[in-house]
Amino acid sequence: MTTVETMKAAVVTALDAPWEVKAVPRPRPGPAQVLIRVRASGLCYTDVHLSQGGLLPLELPAVLGHEPVGEIVEIGSAVRTRKVGDRVGTSALQAGCGRCEWCSRGDIIDCADQKLLMIHRFGGHAEYLVAEEAATMLLPDGLSFEQAAPIFCAGNTVWSGLRAAEPLPGARVAVVGIGGLGHLALQYAKAAGFRAIAITRSKDKHALSRELGADEVVEDGEALARIGGADVILSTANSYRTASDALRGLRPRGSLVVMGAAGPEEDLVIPNRTVFPQMMVNRQKILFSQQNGREFVHEAVQLAASGKIRVLTETYSLDDARKAYDRVSAGAVRFRAVLVP
């Protein structure tokens, strides 16, 4: 008789319903996979979109979580570059098809047949996780699990977006939305030597923005223009309105990088009367960015390990996953909720 080993996980059993913390079968690693004992797993607003039936269809029951870190406790028979005891993290994207044009270019982020945590296999909000050996990244010594987890989505997202804009040395980088992504965007901009500017109408975020590294804090695009504008505007909010307004402060050849998705009812508007002519004349760009490749995860993790990035976290036990989810979906978390199984 064989007994199936189980693990505790936060399970989505129905769309738009509370997560259930319960026992599920513990996954076993295939030949090129590793089994990770999850030590921290960050919650992302993407978890909310997916739980509500947005972005991609979920096969239920599902376990979400796409910024997990932990220790390898078992390796598959073909694994050569990872060993039991390694501290690693991984992201949602586990593998491409290996056969299409994009995979052939080494660019699995554009593959149409990706294997993703949460969608094709259980994600990180659990005691254990199976990941592809090739999709794991070693954690530098001295970077704690709790600090490392949010880098694998949030940190990677903001750093990928900033790098996508290809800012020149000394560039002025403005951040819209000082939340889960934005509080990291300010820190990454500053850590990389750029001039960091926070755009926020929340008075209570002015002092905090400066603590996070903002050289200047302004209320809107007009105020941004008055202080000399920005070469890069990183839009990290779950709404496009502030980003549209901030365009008034974009410098010639500057880029707006959109990395936070709004709800289905909201369009990104380029105001014709105020902004459109300026964007034409000054040859400005709007870029859309998510996580643009493995090199940026590496850079984001290294900057975090250098001590220049401090993720502001609220930690929850796996048993409290439902409470953590409710706070994320209500926008109440300051600034990243992390499950610590």
Q: Kindly write down the DSSP assignment for every residue of 88-141, as one continuous string.
A: EEE-SEEE--SSSHHHHTT-GGG-SS-EEBTTTB--SSBSEEEEEGGGEEEPPT
Tokens of 92: 């949602």
- Among 44, 126, 181, 246, the residue binding Zn ion under the rule CB under 5 A is 44
Local structure of residue 167 (DSSP, 8 states): P
Stretch that binds Zn ion, among 46-54, 143-151, 283-291, 328-336 (CB under 5 A): 46-54
96 is a site residue for Zn ion (CB under 5 A): yes
- Among 40, 64, 111, 303, the residue binding Zn ion under the rule CB under 5 A is 111
Closest CA to 65 of 137, 23, 7, 116: 116
Q: Residues binding Zn ion: what is the number (CB under 5 A)?
A: 8
Residue 339 CB, nearest approach to Zn ion (Å)? 14
Q: Which of 100/268 has CB closer to Zn ion?
A: 100
Tokens of 267: 């369009």
259 is a site residue for Zn ion (CB under 5 A): no
Stretch that binds Zn ion, among 39-47, 75-83, 120-128, 179-187 (CB under 5 A): 39-47
Per-residue contact string for residues 149-188; x = within reach of Zn ion by CB under 5 A: ----x-----------------------------------
100 is a site residue for Zn ion (CB under 5 A): yes
- Among 23, 55, 97, 269, the residue binding Zn ion under the rule CB under 5 A is 97
Tokens of 59: 């096969």
Secondary structure element (H or E) that encloses residue 114, with its range: none
Residue 236 CB, nearest approach to Zn ion (Å)? 12
CB 255 within 8 A of CB 173: no
103 is a site residue for Zn ion (CB under 5 A): yes
Q: Which of 181/233 has CB closer to Zn ion?
A: 181
Q: Which of 278/315 has CB closer to Zn ion?
A: 315
Q: Which of 103/129 has CB closer to Zn ion?
A: 103
Residue 188 CB, nearest approach to Zn ion (Å)? 16
Q: Kindly write down the DSSP assignment for every residue of 239-271, as one continuous string.
A: -SHHHHHHGGGEEEEEEEEE-SPPPTTPPP---
Tokens of 200: 């926020």
CB 87 within 8 A of CB 173: no
Residue 254 CB, nearest approach to Zn ion (Å)? 26
Strands 216-218 and 195-199 turn out to be parallel
Residue 194 CB, nearest approach to Zn ion (Å)? 24
Strands 336-339 and 313-316 turn out to be parallel
Q: Which of 108/275 has CB closer to Zn ion?
A: 108
48 is a site residue for Zn ion (CB under 5 A): no
Residue 178 CB, nearest approach to Zn ion (Å)? 18
Q: Which of 42/70 has CB closer to Zn ion?
A: 42
SS3 sequence, 275-333? CHHHHHHCCCEEEECCCCCHHHHHHHHHHHHCCCCCCCEEEECHHHHHHHHHHHHCCCC
Q: Which of 117/173 has CB closer to Zn ion?
A: 117
Stretch that binds Zn ion, among 111-119, 168-176, 262-270, 298-306 (CB under 5 A): 111-119
Output helix, strand, coil percentages for the chain, rounded to the nearest 5: 30, 25, 45
Which residues are at the interface with Zn ion (CB under 5 A)?
44, 46, 96-97, 100, 103, 111, 153
